[in-house]
Amino acid sequence: MPREKVTIIGATRSYAAPGGSGKITVRHFCPACGSLLFATPEVIPDFINIYAGTLDDPSVFKPTWSFFPHKHAPWDRVPDDLPELPLST
């Protein structure tokens, strides 16, 4: 999601590590239960990755592009017509 469209309420804990692009991604998680909530990837600094599993109703989420579809697990179905997000590395 575009950063300007997201408001974070409450504290998170975070850690930074290389993401799939090789650039740093900061992953934020709940300090009480440890669930991953969102990430702020260096490769797309104007976006926040929100993990679909954190949504009250993930079925309302309609992806418009995919990250690294060539790296998805065989069981993870990515629609053929879903464009890959071009990432500069």
| pLDDT digit string, tens, across residues 16-25 | 999 878 899 9
More confident residue, 69 or 22: 22
For residues 11-34, average pLDDT: 93
- Whether 33 maps to a domain, the answer reads yes
- Whether 28 maps to a domain, the answer reads yes
Give residue for tokens 């930074």: 16
Mean pLDDT of the chain: 84
Asked if pLDDT for residue 78 goes beyond 50, the answer is yes
- Whether 85 maps to a domain, the answer reads no
- Whether 39 maps to a domain, the answer reads yes
- Whether 9 maps to a domain, the answer reads yes
Q: 50: domain range?
A: 3-55
- Whether 29 maps to a domain, the answer reads yes
- Whether 79 maps to a domain, the answer reads no
User: Residues 41-57: pLDDT tens digits?
Assistant: 998 899 998 888 888 88
pTM of the model: 0.71
Domains: count for the chain:
1
- Whether 74 maps to a domain, the answer reads no
Tokens found for residue 28: 């934020």
Q: Could you give phi then psi for residue 40, rounded to 5 degrees?
A: -120, 95
